[in-house]
Structure 1
Amino acid sequence: MKTCDLDSQCPNTEKCCPGSCGNICRPVEIPQSITDLPPIPSNITHQEKHRGTSIIIHWQASAESSDIFYVVQERHHIGVHWREEKLGDWSPGFMVARPRLKKKYVFVPGRWYQVRVAAVNLYGTRGFSPPSEPFKLSAQPKPPGAPLNLNFEAVHLVNDKFWIELHWDPPVSELPVSKYIIYWSTLATFELRGSPYVKFQETVSPEQTHFSIPDLDRNKRAIMFEVQAMSMFGSRRLKGEKASIHISTPDYANAETLDLDLSNVSKDKRKKRMGKKKSLPDFKVDRIFNQNEELFAKLSWKGVGVNVTDHYTVTWSSNQCANVSRSVFTASTDNNWYTIHGLNYNCKYRASVKTHHHRLLFSSSITFTTPLSAQSTSTGS
């Protein structure tokens, strides 16, 4: 059974070798009698610094030499307890000249880590050490920061009501965001310190960084908006800082008017339209190509907004792919296309794209299979 085309598709120092049923990854046996290669590092230890907020990694190696450098890789998972089966892939790695890793921000609270080290010289390497014992920072993860760049994407008048589209960027956070909470309040005056007349809130998924709010009274003098990120660590809910922005309604007296027929839709039904799903037009794979030995697929679709920039969330994952663990990847774009990369040959993928536009969810999915090898793929420019 074929499992590789290139050495880079094999783990560690294994090579892609021909077999009776196709190319497979095989370990390389390096005799200890070959003295030109440095020995494999051993005895990996860690030491906490700065009150448990950073870690220095040490390992045992041969005498320090300007001809030897070290490649340090890490893998981790998020969680309160160590679970080996939850570990991700090994990172590309860091190169250092001495037998210790002191880089700041490599290790983040809320994660369990393992590291491995390879010694390399001009002749090559004997491979990576066995993984270290699992470790984590003693410092606890902090709540997310405030969402960044909160702004008004658009302000419309629909049936003499304001329809406001918010957009923000994800906050700085040590943990993945589990959801966003959007608050809005109508105020009688421009004095934002006063108590709001009415306060509302909605919750959206962590992939969504935009939100449309309809039916806002244009006669209110000011409207306050707040967005807050939430994270989970075990059973703990970590509430992030709020980002806020307000609108002075007289400044938007001449806002663009949208001709939307909502006369037959009640307020309750209009509010539920956020969860109503429609297809995104003409979602397809334009082409699959390789460039610099990496496989790409360009996706495209037709937009749904007119004179408004919509934000699209693109998600893709491998459904059927030999010897490759299933991973889900997500990206966002303002364009009506996106090029996904890092694909494997002879794999089946599922991709989806979605956007929220005027309280409606537009979403489409597609499956596609990558070519058997680089020889059957076009080359990108």
Structure 2
Amino acid sequence: PNKRNFTLPELSPLQQLICLDNCLYDSDCPLVQKCCDIGCGPVCVEAIDVREDALLPPIPKIIYSKLGRGNKVEIRIESSANSTYYCHVEVRYHFGVSYAERKLSPWQCQLVEKIAEISDARSKRIDISFNLKPGYWYQARVAAINAYGFRGYSEPSKVFRLTHNPKPPKSPADVQVVSALFNGHHYVVKIAWCPSKSNLPIEKYKVIWSLYVRNNDESVITNETYVKDAHYFEIKELLPESSYYIQVQSISINGSRRLKSDKCSVLYNTTQPAEPYRPLRCSHHGHEQEQNIDTNSENPLSRTHERAPKPTTLAVSTVHGYEVNYRFSRKFGMIVHITGFLPHKEKVYELCPKESNCEQREYSAIRVKQDAVEFN
């Protein structure tokens, strides 16, 4: 209701003894109660005769709710046809496999789309819809509001949710090394990544860093850890003169199921010269959004080596029109993927250090494709 001339009921002595500061504004109170100071502190009370005021529209009813196409729910509202009003819709929800009323969030305004409106002599029916997130339970209520206020909210609807399971989260849009410190024996590097987009809460991020050792066994040394409530991590004791394949994966929980994103990766070489740090390129509502990361390491030693390698999803070299990408294989180790030229089927290709002139034959082609060649 509005601030017209409603009067407040008198409270009993017992109510006055136990009253506390349980509100500050009218919006802190449920339904059509108002926040009023009764002497010992503000409490939520209902104004007298507010539900019988003829200038206020009747309380509407939610006839039914049903799932529509895609991720939408459709709700039918019925109210009086004798007044002009606006339907204000609120929802509350919680995430989980099973419904629990105690987990529901506070009521909050919900933007809706009107589908249809049908009126007859006595009533008006309005069909609305809005989007739902997979994995959440929802409940809705509605109020009819005009220039004088509103009489109250409808009874809450039955709970509803989408029937299909939520999808895994998106992989981080970008990951890079933002600082590196050499302590005389090992490197300590700080990596940062973009937050993953997901309909479900992100439980944690998995960080993996792998070193491919070229020896008789040609083994791969892999380490991993989990990061919660942060989008950065310090990797310690990296060997100098080495290349590391660093991956970040986001993980959500849906009941007993773990939903994992694709991995976002970067190749980091401790032998390359420093490159200038660039902001993370995080996608946001279809637009590129740059995020600046604090590159100061907690290590008291000053940084002596910095670089910002590009993600492996992008070309790292375009010499003579060739594009070079990297990916990691447990069977073959580090794979170098070169596109941009037409390989010949019966030829053997070699990938060599620039200064060796291919005399050492360090790398050999393992796969020749129609428009690319790969080396390990």
TM-score strictly above 0.5: yes
Q: RMSD of aligned C-alpha atoms?
A: 3.1
- Structure 1, unmatched stretches of 5+, are 190-194, 257-306, 310-331, 336-354, 360-381
Deviation at 1:185, TM superposition (A): 1.0
Paired residue for 1:201, among 220, 224, 228? 224
Q: Relative to structure 1, is the Cα distance of residues 142 and 161 closer, same or farther in structure 2, using a 3 angstrom cutoff? A: same
- SS state at 2:261 partner: strand
**How many residues matched?**
255
Q: How far apart, CA to CA, are the structure 2 residues paired with 1:33 and 1:12?
A: 15
Is 1:101 matched up with 2:101?
no
What corresponds to 2:65 in structure 1? 46
For the pair 1:75 / 2:92, whether they are aligned, the reply is: yes
Which protein shows a greater Rg?
2
Q: Which amino acid aligns with 1:54?
A: K
Corresponding residue for 1:59?
77
Q: Matches of 2:136 and 2:183 in 1, distance apart? A: 47
Distance in 1, matches of 2:174 and 2:147, equals: 48
Q: Which moved more, 1:85-94 or 1:133-142?
A: 85-94
Distance change in 2, residues 1:113/1:44 (3 Å): farther
- 2:101 is aligned with what amino acid? E
1:209–1:140 distance in 2 versus 1, CA, 3 Å: same
CA distance in 1, matches of 2:209, 2:135: 32
What is the letter of the counterpart of residue 102 of structure 1?
S
- Quote the Cα distance in structure 1 between the aligned partners of 2:99 and 2:147: 37
Where does 1:199-238 land on structure 2 (aligned, <5 Å)? Answer: 199-205=222-228, 207-220=229-242, 222-238=243-259
Which residue of structure 1 aligns with residue 193 of structure 2? Answer: 168
Once residues 188 and 163 of structure 1 are traced to their aligned partners in structure 2, the CA distance between those partners, rounded to angstroms, is 19
**TM-score normalised by structure 2 residue count:** 0.61
Deviation at 1:226, TM superposition (A): 0.6
Deviation at 1:55, TM superposition (A): 1.5
Q: Which amino acid aligns with 1:177?
A: I
Alignment match of 1:18 (pick from 37, 42, 67): 37
When you count strand as a share of all residues, which structure comes out higher? Answer: 1
Does the CA contact (< 8 Å) of 2:205 and 2:248 recur in 1? Answer: yes
Give the match's secondary structure for 2:263. strand
Shift of 1:224: 1.0
1:92 aligns with 2:109: yes
Distance 1:95 1:137 in 2: 17
* Structure 2 residues without counterparts, runs of 5 or longer: 1-19, 118-125, 280-290, 301-376
Query: 2:197 & 2:209 partners in 1: Cα distance?
Result: 23
> Identical aligned pairs, as a percentage?
31
- 2:374 equivalent to 1:357: no
In structure 1, what is the Cα distance between the partners aligned to 2:110 and 2:205?
A: 33
TM-score w.r.t. length of structure 1: 0.60
CA contact (8 A) 1:70 1:96 kept: no
1:43 deviates by 2.6
- Give the equivalent residue in structure 2 for 1:36: 55
Task: Using the TM superposition, give the Cα deviation of residue 248 of structure 1 relative to its aligned residue in structure 2, in angstroms.
Answer: 3.2
Q: Which amino acid aligns with 1:176?
A: P
2: distance between equivalents of 1:146 and 1:50? 27
